[in-house]
Amino acid sequence: MSEIRKHYFLDEHCIIAFGRSKRPSAPKACGDEIQSTSCVFCKCHEDETPLATAVYKKGEILKDTDKQRVTGWDIRCIPNLYPALSPDAPEVEEAVFEAKKGFGFHEVIIENPLHENRLHLFSDDEILLLMKTYRDRVLHYQSQKGIKYVSLFKNWGKKAGASLEHTHSQLIALPIMPSSILKEKKAIEDMENCPYCRIVEKENGKERQVYENDAFILIAPYYSKSPYEMWMLPKEHVNHISSFSDNMLLSLGDCIRKAVSLLDNTIPELAYNYMFFQLEHDQSYHFNVRIAPVTSIAAGFEKNTDIYINTMPPEVAVKHLQEKE
Amino acid sequence: MSEIRKHYFLDEHCIIAFGRSKRPSAPKACGDEIQSTSCVFCKCHEDETPLATAVYKKGEILKDTDKQRVTGWDIRCIPNLYPALSPDAPEVEEAVFEAKKGFGFHEVIIENPLHENRLHLFSDDEILLLMKTYRDRVLHYQSQKGIKYVSLFKNWGKKAGASLEHTHSQLIALPIMPSSILKEKKAIEDMENCPYCRIVEKENGKERQVYENDAFILIAPYYSKSPYEMWMLPKEHVNHISSFSDNMLLSLGDCIRKAVSLLDNTIPELAYNYMFFQLEHDQSYHFNVRIAPVTSIAAGFEKNTDIYINTMPPEVAVKHLQEKE
């Protein structure tokens, strides 16, 4: 049960989601022995979650039914048990201020059946399948009636907000355009050329570049809000994952895996979030993924000004990340 | 040594402050016994900090000199030893992207000489003196050449970014207007009436009001980004602390003390930030203070969309806060 409340006078929103306070608050460490009784995301525990809406298994895409759960899967997509938004949200009672019902979808993408497998250890096949799943699921929800934006992200580690340890991503399909994306869209509309293409042009091969492959560059951005922040940008202008070829998906997956691996080498077990920024129906937008390791705290100054104090220049971060390789 | 970097294409900034990484990262607990050797903010340790720029002592305002540090003080203002910005910042080397030198001021306001004293235990005299100090110091920096905005805030508790335990506030004087304030200013310019006056009108005496005194109301805002978030609003329209009478300062201090006290009663030792929002040269702005307890994590979804998921409706938060009173 939730509702989307508008700021008193700005075009900003928050989701009041009362039910989510019941979710597990701490990741449960579970080794091989105890895994079978503690982690609902592990294989052989399919009946401890809501019915899967999409199950990737040996090249096929299946679904759970009331009668049968798919086992032996590679990737499993399930509705979040404590959804921020849901398709059957009740109407909001009339209020003095603006709110709309908490309509939407909240899905968990279990990236691998094995508890001990982690993203930076994924094979090419595994990472490609994950990227294909991302593409499929974003497209699926993007085409649902009433959905304006699909937020795709991963929280890794308790400090990054992950309530379960087993490697997973999440997707929240929203009935509104988020202010973060609208702000960029508006700025880009006023510009002659794509600002992200300019970033690629200026940063590619230079001191803030961390890594590059066929289709992507990985940089520590000049404007870095925290130590080890990284951005992944396709070299060619493309607005949305829906138009990615399989080769491009593999390049993206390789870039994400690289970023995560460099972070883990530099500060073992570092918590992080990564987020997809894209716009399906706006060719002027330039797809990008940002990874934000949890290395600092947004304190009073940041909450007052929206200006972040970063104690590590990105030029130094690049050196740290690369020397541990 | 720091610089203020502009976002690649948005009107947003971050401060790259390399020196700050050396500051103490954890608050040091120090009881009465060990206090004398461990906390530089305690009385009798005046010579372990930079020279105080303003010292409040028995109704007088003094200053440290090279030859003599003021002792027996009530409130002591010192330059931050690890400043985010400084008055003698060097010019920035020319870069491909936009940056300006890290010019500004970063001050620590030590609110009380005693380590064990805490804000919610302050007497009326102590809280009034703190508010007067806030007014004086904001005005002092606001009038410095090149300063566009003075951010005043308090971080309490390690999880809220406080690196020392002894009760203190901070002030960062900026050579730019922060985007958070500009955004509100712009929205208000397009409106006929003050939106904050409307909030006061609609929330005063209603279910989301937590407390009120002569001049202020304390509310859990309808648009709450996290559990127990509270806003303090003057009932009368006033734009800046510089025009506050002593009575109004006492009302403000009483309201802050009340908010902090309710939080501590509800969740003992809860970390929080509070921040002052005000505009000196713009009568259309409505002064307010916001207190944000650290009860949740901004994770991937928040970093993607700027939409915050809050698991506790403010209407419920009010009940929790008041039942422990």
Q: How confident is the model at residue B35 (pLDDT cuts 50, 70, 90)?
A: very low
Between A19, A221, A300, which is nearest B155 by CB? A300
Calculate what percentage of chain A has a pLDDT beyond 90. 90
Q: Which residues contact A219 (CB under 8 A, 6 or more apart)?
A: A199, A203, A208, A209, A210, A230, A231, A233, A314
Q: How confident is the model at residue A38 (pLDDT cuts 50, 70, 90)?
A: confident
Q: How confident is the model at residue A196 (pLDDT cuts 50, 70, 90)?
A: very high
Position A23 scores a pLDDT of: 62
Position B94 scores a pLDDT of: 76
Between B161, B184, B309, which is nearest A10 by CB? B184
Q: Return the structure tokens found at A110.
A: 């279990």
Position B1 scores a pLDDT of: 80
**What is the per-residue DSSP string for A163-198?**
SS-S-EEEEEEESS--HHHHHHHHHHHT-SS-HHHH
Q: How confident is the model at residue A61 (pLDDT cuts 50, 70, 90)?
A: very high
How far apart CA B137 and CA B6 sit, in angstroms, is: 27
Contacts of A156 in chain B (CB under 8 A): none
Answer yes or no: are the C-beta atoms of A238 and A216 closer than 8 Å.
Answer: no
To the nearest 10 degrees (0 to 180), the angle between helices A124-142 and A246-266 is 110
Mean pLDDT of A106-121: 96
Answer yes or no: are the C-beta atoms of A165 and A28 closer than 8 Å.
Answer: yes
Residue B273's DSSP bridge partners are B155, B292
Q: What is the ipTM of this complex?
A: 0.95
Q: Chain-wide mean pLDDT for chain A?
A: 93
Query: Does A179 sit within 8 Å of B16, measured CB to CB?
Result: no
Position B26 scores a pLDDT of: 33
Helices (runs of H) and strands (runs of E) counted in chain A = 7, 15
Q: Which residues contact A281 (CB under 8 A, 6 or more apart)?
A: none
Q: Who has greater pLDDT, A22 or A96?
A: A96
How far apart CA A46 and CA A61 sit, in angstroms, is: 16
pLDDT tens digit sequence for B263-319:
999 999 999 999 999 999 999 999 999 999 999 999 999 999 999 999 999 999 999
- Pairing of the two strands A209-212 and A216-219: antiparallel
- CB atoms under 10 Å from CB of B325, counted, come to 11
As a whole number of Å, the CA-based R_g of chain A is: 20
pLDDT tens digit sequence for A124-154:
999 999 999 999 999 999 999 999 999 999 9
- Pairing of the two strands A149-156 and A168-174: antiparallel
How far apart CA A307 and CA B5 sit, in angstroms, is: 10
- State the smallest CA–CA distance between residue A243 and chain B in angstroms: 21
Query: Does B6 sit within 8 Å of A301, measured CB to CB?
Result: no
Q: Return the structure tokens found at B131.
A: 């508010």
Query: Is the model's pLDDT at A190 over the cut of 50?
Result: yes
Query: Is the model's pLDDT at B197 over the cut of 60?
Result: yes
Q: How confident is the model at residue A18 (pLDDT cuts 50, 70, 90)?
A: confident
- State the smallest CA–CA distance between residue B31 and chain A in angstroms: 26
pLDDT tens digit sequence for A223-260:
999 999 999 999 999 999 999 999 999 999 999 999 99
Residue A169 exposure: Cα atoms within 13 Å on the Cβ side: 24
Position B301 scores a pLDDT of: 98
Query: Does B20 sit within 8 Å of A202, measured CB to CB?
Result: no
Task: Give the count of Cβ contacts less than 8 A between chain A and B.
Answer: 216
Query: Is the model's pLDDT at B34 over the cut of 70?
Result: no
Q: Chain-wide mean pLDDT for chain B?
A: 93
Contacts of A300 in chain B (CB under 8 A): 153-155, 160-161, 170, 273-275
Answer yes or no: are the C-beta atoms of B266 and B324 closer than 8 Å.
Answer: yes
Q: How confident is the model at residue A24 (pLDDT cuts 50, 70, 90)?
A: low
The residue of chain B nearest to residue A160, with distances taken between CA atoms, is: B299
The residue of chain B nearest to residue A224, with distances taken between CA atoms, is: B14
How far apart CA A10 and CA A3 sit, in angstroms, is: 17
Q: Return the structure tokens found at A153.
A: 């992200």
Query: Does A309 sit within 8 Å of B303, measured CB to CB?
Result: no
3-class DSSP state for residue A252?
helix
Query: Does A187 sit within 8 Å of B10, measured CB to CB?
Result: yes
> How is residue B91 annotated by DSSP?
P
Phi then psi for residue B200, to 5 deg, are -60, -45
The residue of chain A nearest to residue B317, with distances taken between CA atoms, is: A18
Position A85 scores a pLDDT of: 97
Query: Is the model's pLDDT at A20 over the cut of 80?
Result: no
Position B22 scores a pLDDT of: 64
Q: Which residues contact B267 (CB under 8 A, 6 or more apart)?
A: B228, B293, B295
